[in-house]
Amino acid sequence: MKRITILIADDETEIADLIALHLTKEGYHCIKAATGHEAVQAVHAHTIDLAILDIMMPGMDGYEVTRQIREQHAMPIIFLSAKTSDMDKITGLVMGADDYMTKPFNPMELVARVNAQLRRSLQFNQPAAGSTPVLELNGLVIDPDQRAVTQYGRHVELTPKEFDILYLLASHPKKVFGAELLFERVWGEAYFEGGNTVMVHIRTLRKKLGDDKNKWIKTIWGVGYTFNG
């Protein structure tokens, strides 16, 4: 069975070593990087299943590392940063991260989040028992096997979570999903304060679809979101 490899990119050696210690106990193989450039090189040189990135790294910050990773890879990314404001978290999620934790942190909570992200990632990458239907809705084509979206023939680049939200909504047109249900179905973990996270992903998803008039994803105020295609 393939051993899961996790990239830990943090210029604070003590933190990287602490994370690696706990993840190694869980049976994961860890690769450490002290700079953004080393992190990108590691992604090119190894098969990485999940990345834990600091934002403030020398040379290339975590945002730019994420941008470069997302050009070719869809592995889960968790930001672990001393930047604690809501805007920092929103920026991280918009840039393509799947989760965001602030320092100081509980190592066991980080391990739990790593496990949750990997479960979700492995679930979506397992071959389906039967054919998973491609959705074609008024010019929007969503292919779950290729995890690809085209709109009137134009490729739409989505992060893994944006794709999962879109496919879930489009698979149940007209059904209204509350933020809590969306978070639990897409993130695969209990909902605590995931409302802002869902809202940010919906906002960026609409922007990428050019959905300024909510043609595809409609907000039912006070209730949730529904696919309107």
pLDDT tens, position by position, 68-118: 998 888 889 999 999 888 888 888 888 888 899 999 999 999 999 999 888
Instruction: Decide yes or no: CATH 3.40.50.2300 for domain 5-125.
Output: yes
Residue with tokens 């023939």: 153
Structure tokens belonging to residue 120: 């979700």
Q: Quote the percentage of the chain above a pLDDT of 70.
A: 90
Q: What is the pLDDT of residue 125?
A: 56
What backbone phi and psi angles, to 5 degrees, belong to 212?
-70, -20
Structure tokens belonging to residue 78: 């968790």
Residue spans of the domains in the chain: they are 5-125, 135-227
Q: What is the pLDDT of residue 193?
A: 56
The reply to whether 5-125 and 135-227 are identical in fold is no
31 forms bridges with which residues in the sheet?
7
Reply yes or no on whether the pLDDT at 129 is more than 60: no
pTM of the model: 0.65
In the chain, the amino acid numbered 152 is Y
Structure tokens belonging to residue 189: 């973990």
Instruction: Decide yes or no: CATH 3.40.50.300 for domain 135-227.
Output: no
As a whole number, the mean pLDDT across the chain is: 86
pLDDT digit string, tens, across residues 151-177: 888 898 888 888 999 999 998 888 888
pLDDT digit string, tens, across residues 52-69: 999 999 889 999 999 899
The listed range with the strongest mean pLDDT (101-115, 133-147, 176-190) is: 101-115
Q: Which residue has the higher pLDDT, 187 or 49?
A: 49
Q: Which sign, positive or negative, has the C-alpha torsion 152, 154, 155, 157?
A: negative
Nearest residue to 208 via CA among 146, 149, 156, 147: 156
